[in-house]
Amino acid sequence: MTTMLGLSFKALAVAPETFATLVACVFLLVVRAAIATSGRTLIRSTARLLDAAIAFLTILFLILVVIRFSVLA
Amino acid sequence: MMSASRGASPTQRVLSILPMMMGFGGAVFWLIAVHQANYAAMNPFGLVSVMTWTFYAAIVMAVTGFFLELMGTNPRTGRLVALIVLMIMIMFGTAPAVEPVASLYDSWLHAGFIQYVIDHGRPLSHFDARFSWPGAFSLGAVVSAFVGRSNALGFLRWFPPFIELMYLAPAIVIARSSGVDRRAGWLGVALFFSCNWIYQDYFSPQALNYLFYLVIVAAVLATWRPRPLELDGTARPTLRHRLALTRRSLSTQRLGGHDAESTWSSSLTLAILALLCLILLASAMSHQLTPYATILALVAMLLGRRLGRPELVIVAGLFAVGWLSLGASDFWLGHLNAIFGSIGRFGGTITANVTGRITGNADHRLIVNARILEVVVLYLLAVIGAVRRRAESRSLEMLAASAFLLLALQDYGGEGLLRVVLFGLPFVTLLAASAFLPNRSGATRPVGRSGTSVRSWSVHHLGRRVSRALAAMVLLLFFTVTFAVRGGNDAFESFTTGELAASEFVYGHAKVGETIWMATPFMPTNFRNIDSMPVKIAAYQTAKSASTVDFDLFTLLSAHAHWIVLSASQAAWGVQVGGYAKDWMAPFQATLLASGYRVVARWSTATVLHLGPMK
């Protein structure tokens, strides 16, 4: 666990924007899955906003990863 | 049950306990066989060459007992599990019981990685690609410390049967939840353990991650079931209807997970989702390939109406790519081509994975060819099973096929095809079992002539008894062949106590900064001091197939190695795989002695050389 935490902090230090985007995206995905699984229905505009935020963060994360690969490799 | 048992005739009672008697007899014969086996008599065919007739009697009794129970009027789960456990011990426990120390160089190396984490509390940077995915090594360090050991060496020897036994529970859940006939499910589980010659169950991150993979697939299949298809119940679907159904698997409805429904309460489903996310995170940190195989399996289950939450696929992808980008940068910095270079080279990867492995002398090629033939036969049976069975969903076929997409991503150092077979094995074996015991209910119907049901085809043209007898023979054949080819490399992959003592001797006498070399791979070494005294391998300094005795000599002499360890396993690898001349080790050692090396320790299977006299 210490190793994992250490590596996570290292990742946060070397690429904070990528790490933060990843965490935010996973958080929203978990929220979306939790709401859907629990049977609650969101109003359409909220559901669309949530989906759009997830799509935006996923694409942003992939772009940041590609940039990181192309810059460092 | 009790009253039925009391009312049974003596013959019926004997028949009822016969499977367990066969199992007990098999266990006794197996114990005798491992006691009688003479490891020192092993020839190039490996483990199978040291087993006596009692071993084959054990196999026949275990498989027969399993089949008698399976085909009885009321197969009992406990008995079937007990007989499969016996089959697992025969298949995967024989090598640890017969061989003096743990086999495979890589398992010793992984113990060395864990030793480093125990000593330093962190993985070693820029040493080995595997350390960029350190999750399993960290877990190994935690478990070692938890049980009060200073290293992980005690886990190596019996790890293969232990982890295979761990695979049993998810394999049973997959069989029960995949929609195959109940008996076919049990036969599929038995085939799963009877066809696994791939030897990825040694002490390694991939063995642990394969457990993660099976657990994830089992949990998803058990949690979600497909919503019924809107089909005309009477008419056999036309080709156009089938194509329309196939197209529907890419609809927004399907991709949104709306074609599957949870079988559990919402709170339980939510808890399972949370646990699956944790397992996906652990897998992403622990192994290079398994997370991507898991993503493909999740996509297959989503398209096959067996996964109700598409977020799980995205989370798996984010974890895998995120760890590669952020956590594994030590690995890809400077050689990104190793990751992305083989993307899309499907044909080249298959060629490299098949032809690249058929090397070595005639004995070794015979073993490799037998492995390939076994896989081909298994996949042919799976195709027959897919054609014959009825099902609610074709997710099993999709899961079996999805693993092949891994080849389009990575050749994985020539081992990609092995991993495809491994990741597809739980599903391919269930489909192969369906070739003999096809399911007879389900909206998705078998391919065949209009009006010909599976039942009538089975009963009138093949015959249920003949079909079951064939299944028993196939299981027995697969089990025996798998045992032979799985241990086919043991002449060089297993080690003697002398070889281990040679390694211990070097570690006990070498000073920090001195270099330790071997001529060819395969020695129980690199299990400690991997940072200060890494053991290097001359044959690995070039492409494995291009290595020669002269090249190895040149490498050792130009490296001015302080210590060189030569052993019987290295000699066997050179002859069987490296293509070196028979008895190449004697002139090789003589040349080293003429170049200033001295023999400082010797065992019957290992020799330690030192450059100049020892101080």
Condensed to tens digits (0 to 9), the pLDDT of residues B202-235 reads 999 999 999 999 999 999 999 999 988 766 555 5
Cβ–Cβ gap B326/A26 under 8 Å: no
Chain A residues within 8 Å of chain B (Cβ atoms): 1-4, 6-7, 10-11, 14-15, 18-19, 22, 25-26, 29-30, 32-34, 36-39, 54, 58, 61-62, 65, 68-69, 72-73
Is A73–B262 a contact, with Cβ atoms under 8 angstroms apart? no
Whether residues A61 and B117 touch (CB distance < 8 A) is answered with: no
pLDDT for res B462: 60
Work out the minimum CA distance from A31 to partner chain B, whole angstroms: 10
Residues B128 and B28 in one domain: no
Q: How confident is the model at residue B137 (pLDDT cuts 50, 70, 90)?
A: very high
CA distances from B459 to B34, B434, B437, B456 (A): 42, 15, 11, 5
> Min CA distance, B125 vs chain A (Å)?
12
Q: What is the pLDDT of residue B451?
A: 44
* Total Cβ atoms within 10 A of residue B358: 12
Judgement on whether residues B133 and B220 belong to the same structural domain of the protein: no
Q: CB under 8 Å to B469, separation ≥6 — which residues?
A: none
Q: How many whole angstroms separate alpha carbon B248 and alpha carbon B139?
A: 43
For chain B, the average pLDDT equals 87
Q: What is the pLDDT of residue B35?
A: 95
Amino acid at B548: T
What pLDDT shows up at residue A40? 79
Q: What is the CA radius of gyration of chain A?
A: 15
Single-letter amino acid, residue B352? A
DSSP state of B21: H
Cβ within 8 Å of residue B496, ≥6 positions away: B39, B100, B101, B567, B568, B569, B603, B604, B605, B606
Where in the sequence is the domain holding B150, given as residue range(s)? Answer: 112-156
- Report CB contact under 8 Å: A7, B285: yes
* Residue of B223, B275, B311 best to disrupt the A interface, most CBs of A under 10 A: B311
Q: Please report how the helices B53-70 and B464-486 are oriented relative to each other, as an axis angle in degrees rounded to 10.
A: 140
Which H or E element spans position B518?
Answer: strand B516-518
Asked if B285's CB is within 8 angstroms of A4's CB, the reply is: yes
Cα–Cα distance for residue pair B270/B573, rounded to 1 Å: 51
Q: How far apart are CA B608 and CA B615, in angstroms?
A: 15
Closest Cβ–Cβ partner in A4, A6, A58 for B314? A58
Q: Is B311 on the interface with A (CB under 8 A)?
A: yes
Asked which of B96-100, B377-381, B602-606, B609-613 is least confident by mean pLDDT, the reply is B609-613
Q: Is B548 helix (H, G, I), strand (E, B) or coil?
A: coil
Mean pLDDT, rounded, for B493-511: 93
Report, as an integer, the average pLDDT of B361-366.
86
How many whole angstroms separate alpha carbon B472 and alpha carbon B68?
A: 9
CB contact set of B359 (below 8 Å; sequence gap of 6+): B365, B368, B545, B577, B579
- Separation of alpha carbons B316 and B276, rounded Å: 9
Q: Which of B228, B287, B250 is nearest to B410 (CA)?
A: B287
- Counting one residue from chain A and one from chain B, the pairs whose CB atoms sit within 8 A come to 86
- Token code pair at residue B607: 């020799």
Nearest CB among A2, A11, A39 relative to B326 is that of: A11
B566 and B461 within one domain: no
Q: CA nearest A40 in B: which residue?
A: B266
Q: What is residue B356's predicted lDDT score, i.e. its pLDDT?
A: 64
Give how many domains chain B has, as a whole number: 4
The rounded Cα B62 to chain-centroid distance in angstroms is: 22
CB pair distance less than 8 Å for B138 and A3: yes
Q: Are residues B312 and B364 in the same domain?
A: yes
Chain B nearest-CA distance from A18, in A, is 8
CA distance A44 to chain B (A): 15
- pLDDT value, residue B350: 65
pLDDT: which is higher, A38 or B107: B107
Backbone angles phi, psi at A42, to 5 degrees: -90, 155
pLDDT tens, position by position, B11-21: 888 888 999 99
Residues B103, B131: one domain?
no
Residues of chain B contacting residue A38, judged by C-beta atoms under 8 Å apart? 266-267, 270
Measured in whole angstroms, the distance separating CA B307 from the mean position of its chain's CA atoms is 25
How much is the pLDDT for B612? 74
Residue B263 at interface with chain A, using a CB cutoff of 8 Å:
no
Q: Let me know: does B329 contact B322? Beta carbons within 8 Å.
A: no
**Which of B144, B200, B153 shows the shortest CA–CA distance to B503?**
B153
Give the pLDDT of residue B1: 42
B174 contacts B218 by C-beta, under 8 angstroms: yes
Of A1, A6, A34, the CB nearest to B270: A34
Burial class (CB in 10 A: 0-12, 13-18, 19+), B507: middle
User: Of B134, B270, B273, which is closest to A3 when you measure between CB atoms?
Assistant: B134
Q: How far apart are CA B312 and CA B520, in angstroms?
A: 44
Q: How many CB atoms lie within 10 A of CB B420?
A: 23
Residue type, A11: A
Per-residue confidence at B452, pLDDT binned at 50, 70, 90? very low
Residue with the bigger pLDDT between A66 and B457: it is A66
Q: Which residues of A touch B332 (CB under 8 A)?
A: 69, 73
Q: What is the mean pLDDT of residues B576-588?
A: 87
Per the CB < 8 A criterion, the answer to whether B102 and B524 are in contact is yes
Mean pLDDT of B366-377: 92
User: Do residues B327 and B135 make contact, with C-beta atoms less than 8 angstroms apart?
Assistant: no
Q: What is the pLDDT of residue B235?
A: 56
pLDDT of B298 over the 70 cut? yes
- Give the closest-approach CA distance of B539 to chain A in angstroms: 29
**Residues B206, B412 contacting (CB under 8 angstroms):** no
pLDDT higher than threshold 70 for residue B349: no
What is the nearest CA distance from B201 to chain A, expressed in angstroms? 24
| Residue from A26, A37, A58 to probe the interface with B (highest B Cβ count within 10 Å) | A37
Cβ–Cβ under 8 Å, residues B493 and B521: no
Instruction: Answer yes or no: do B349 and B458 share one domain.
Output: yes
pTM value surpassing 0.80: yes
pLDDT reported for residue B2: 44
**Residue from B302, B329, B502 nearest A13 by CA:** B329
Minimal Cα distance from A16: which residue of B?
B326
Mean pLDDT throughout B27-37? 96
Taking a C-beta distance cutoff of 8 angstroms, is the pair B96, B34 a contact? no
Answer yes or no: do A69 and B273 touch at CB < 8 A: no
Cα distance between residue B130 and residue B205, in whole Å: 9
SS3 (DSSP) at B565: strand
Domain ranges of chain A: 2-72
Please indicate, yes or no, whether residues B185 and B255 belong to a single structural domain of this protein.
yes
| pLDDT at residue B532, rounded to an integer | 86
Please, how many CA atoms are within 13 Å of residue B291, restricted to the half-sphere of its CB? 26
Cα B100 from Cα A29, distance rounded (Å): 51
Secondary structure class of A40 (helix, strand, coil): coil
Q: Kindly tell me if the per-residue pLDDT of B556 is higher than 60.
A: yes
Q: Cβ separation of B326 and A37 shorter than 8 Å?
A: no
pLDDT cut 70: percent of chain B above it: 88
How does DSSP assign B207-244, residue by residue?
A: HHHHHHHHHHHHHHHHHEEEPPP---SSSPPPHHHHHH
For residues B89 and B613, the model is more confident at B89
Start-to-end CA distance of chain A, whole Å, equals 29
The pLDDT, as a whole number, for residue B242 is: 73
CA distance B262 to B453: 31
Q: Is the pLDDT of residue B355 over 60?
A: yes
Q: How far apart are CA B218 and CA A44, in angstroms?
A: 33
Q: What residues 82-121 of chain B have any CB closer than 8 A to a CB of chain A?
A: 117, 121
**Residues B148/B141, Cβ–Cβ less than 8 Å:** no
Question: Dmax over Cα atoms in chain A, in whole Å?
Answer: 45
Question: Which of B490, B515, B539 marks a domain boundary?
Answer: B490
Judged by CB atoms closer than 8 Å, whether chains meet at A38 and B266 is answered as yes
Q: Is A23 exposed, middle or buried (0-12, 13-18, 19+ CB in 10 A)?
A: middle
Q: Is the pLDDT of residue B434 over 60?
A: yes
Closest CA to B199 of B214, B212, B210, B183: B210
Tokens of B124: 């070693």
Same domain for B119 and B101, yes or no, is: no
- Picking from B258, B318, B337, B343 by the largest number of A CB atoms within 10 A of its own CB, the best residue to mutate is B318
- Whether B318 sits inside 8 A of A34 (CB atoms) is no
Task: Among B490, B522, B557, identify where a domain stops.
Answer: B490
User: Do B398 and B300 contact (CB within 8 A), yes or no?
Assistant: yes
- Confidence band for B558, pLDDT divided at 50, 70 and 90: confident
Residue of A nearest to B266 (CA): A38
Question: By CA distance, what is A4's nearest residue in B?
Answer: B135
Residues B300 and B191 placed together within one structural domain of the fold: yes
Within 13 Å and on the Cβ side, how many CA atoms surround B506? 35
**Residues of B whose CB is below 8 A from A24:** none
pLDDT of residue B127: 79
